[in-house]
């Protein structure tokens, strides 16, 4: 019979006890870690739910006070924030994160929004405005001076300004290209319009829940507006303040619009930070001088033409009666 010493048995038992003890400690650590993670997740989830509820309440307050449209507020109370957007118009949006820098998104901080200034014919000027930025009004006046005058730099507001006299250096027609112009800074669009529209005339009407507010021209270029034939080029990507410029020039200055139907973006949006998200809420719309709405309708051109080059050629041919 084989004998096993007591000391070896005790050693084996000690090893087993040690392993069990280590396993117990390891299991305790795992359980503690899992419990800690659970507590953190539970806290985070509760905080997340609390933040979502807070943001929903903020959104509902703004919608009730400012939203330009019809919505049943009672149906929104039990909704989640994303679900609220389904009840609003297509231009209202919910973005994740901090409010976007709209100036950067639209390119409004670029140095120049005017990409091309030239004479396409000896007596026809051409100005391409890509968007309306903060400096577009100033840049547009300089562009006008460039296409109108070849060897001088007159002051547009001078009493003797030859803008309206069509002297030997003056142009007899202007092509204003607003194709693919998404709009932008409305104030700059107004600065462009006042160079053409006489003072006191309605440029557009701002309509919100609070009512209607007309914006009037302050005049410019001899305070009577630059008087010459104008053709405005538009297409399906012409939107917002660019549409206002085109329609207002047609209404007050008899401008001809050539191209394709514009986008029909006539709504006013307010940027509302909510915390972890940002609400872009429609709070009104822009009406044209005659009181009509741009919203979802767009501008129908006087001469519907497809193709970039074809549109420009039609614009040039429009001035033939003025050139001969």
Q: What is the pTM assigned to this prediction?
A: 0.74
**Token duo for residue 178:** 């607003």
277 vs 227: CA distance, rounded Å: 48
158 vs 318 pLDDT, higher one: 318
Categorize the per-residue pLDDT at 84 as very low, low, confident or very high, splitting at 50, 70 and 90. confident
Q: Is the pLDDT of residue 188 over 80?
A: yes
Rounded to the nearest integer, the mean pLDDT of the chain is 80
* Crossing angle for the helix pair 136-148 and 186-193, to the nearest 10 degrees: 30
pLDDT at 152: 41
12 vs 201: CA distance, rounded Å: 103
What would the 3-class secondary structure string for 142-182 be?
HHHHHHHCCCCCCCCCCCCCHHHCCCCCCCCEEEEECCCCC
48 vs 285 pLDDT, higher one: 285
Instruction: State pLDDT tens for residues 8-66.
Output: 545 555 565 566 666 667 676 776 666 666 555 555 444 556 767 787 888 888 888 99
**Token duo for residue 182:** 């998404």
Q: Checking DSSP bridges between strand 277-287 and strand 230-234, what pairing results, if any?
A: unpaired
Q: Identify the residue whose tokens are 């519907």.
A: 304
Q: How many CA atoms lie within 13 A of 304 on its CB side?
A: 6
C-beta atoms surrounding 252 within 10 Å: 18
pLDDT at 93: 87
What per-residue string of b and e applies to 168-177 under the rule 16 or more CB within 10 Å gives b? Answer: eebbebbbbb
Instruction: State pLDDT tens for residues 209-226.
Output: 999 999 999 876 555 567
303 vs 300: CA distance, rounded Å: 9
pLDDT at 168: 42
Closest of 236, 274, 282, 221 to residue 97, by C-alpha: 274
CATH code: domain 103-263+298-323 is 3.90.226.10
**What number is the average pLDDT over the span 313-321?**
88
Closest of 247, 237, 254, 261 to residue 291, by C-alpha: 247
Instruction: State pLDDT tens for residues 224-241.
Output: 567 889 999 999 999 999
pLDDT at 87: 83
pLDDT at 312: 96
Categorize the per-residue pLDDT at 196 as very low, low, confident or very high, splitting at 50, 70 and 90. very high
What would the 3-class secondary structure string for 259-275 be?
ECCCCCCCEEEEEEECC
pLDDT at 324: 59
Handedness of CA 25, 31, 35, 41 (dihedral sign): positive
Q: Identify the residue whose tokens are 């207002």.
A: 248
Closest of 171, 194, 179 to residue 311, by C-alpha: 179
232: Cβ contacts below 8 Å, ≥ 6 apart: 175, 176, 177, 178, 245, 246, 249, 250, 255, 256, 257, 258
Angle at 94 between CA 88 and CA 96, to 5 degrees: 170
pLDDT at 7: 55
189 vs 277 pLDDT, higher one: 189
Q: Is the pLDDT of residue 110 over 60?
A: no
Beta strands in 90-150 (DSSP E): 93-96, 114-121, 124-129
Most confident of 82-86, 160-164, 292-296: 292-296
Closest of 219, 273, 268 to residue 62, by C-alpha: 273
Q: What is the DSSP string of 31-93?
A: HHHHHHHHHHHHHHHHHHHHHHHHHHHHHHHHHHHH--S---HHHHTTS-HHHHHTTS-TT-E
Q: Is 97 exposed, middle or buried (0-12, 13-18, 19+ CB in 10 A)?
A: exposed
């Amino acid at each position: 019979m084989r004998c096993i010493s007591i000391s070896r048995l005790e050693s084996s038992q000690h090893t087993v006890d040690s392993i069990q003890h280590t396993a117990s400690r390891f299991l305790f650590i795992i359980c503690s870690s899992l419990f800690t993670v659970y507590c953190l997740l539970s806290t985070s989830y509760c905080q997340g739910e609390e933040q979502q509820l807070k943001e929903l309440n903020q959104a509902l307050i703004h919608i009730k006070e400012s939203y330009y449209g019809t919505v049943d507020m009672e149906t929104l109370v039990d909704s989640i924030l994303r679900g609220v957007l389904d009840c609003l118009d297509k231009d209202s949006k919910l973005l994740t994160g901090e409010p976007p820098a709209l100036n950067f998104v639209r390119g409004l901080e670029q140095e120049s929004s005017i990409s091309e200034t030239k004479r396409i014919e000896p007596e026809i000027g051409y100005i391409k405005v890509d968007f309306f930025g903060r400096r577009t009004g100033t840049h547009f006046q300089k562009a006008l001076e460039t296409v109108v005058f070849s060897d001088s730099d007159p002051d547009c507001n001078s009493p003797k300004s030859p803008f309206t006299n069509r002297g030997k250096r003056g142009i007899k027609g202007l092509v204003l290209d607003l194709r693919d112009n998404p709009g932008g800074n409305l104030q700059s669009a107004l600065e462009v319009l006042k160079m053409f529209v006489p003072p006191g005339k309605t440029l557009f009407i701002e309509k919100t829940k609070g009512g209607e507010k007309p914006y009037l021209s302050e005049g410019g270029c001899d305070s009577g507006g630059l008087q010459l034939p104008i053709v405005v080029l538009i297409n399906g990507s012409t939107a917002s303040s660019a549409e206002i410029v085109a329609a207002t020039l047609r209404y007050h200055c008899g401008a001809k619009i050539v191209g394709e139907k514009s986008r029909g973006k006539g709504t006013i949006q307010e940027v509302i930070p909510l915390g972890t998200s940002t609400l872009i809420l429609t709070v009104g719309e822009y009406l044209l001088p005659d009181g009509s709405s741009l919203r979802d309708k767009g501008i129908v051109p006087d001469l519907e033409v497809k193709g970039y080059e074809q549109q420009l050629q039609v614009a040039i041919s429009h001035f033939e009666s003025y050139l001969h």
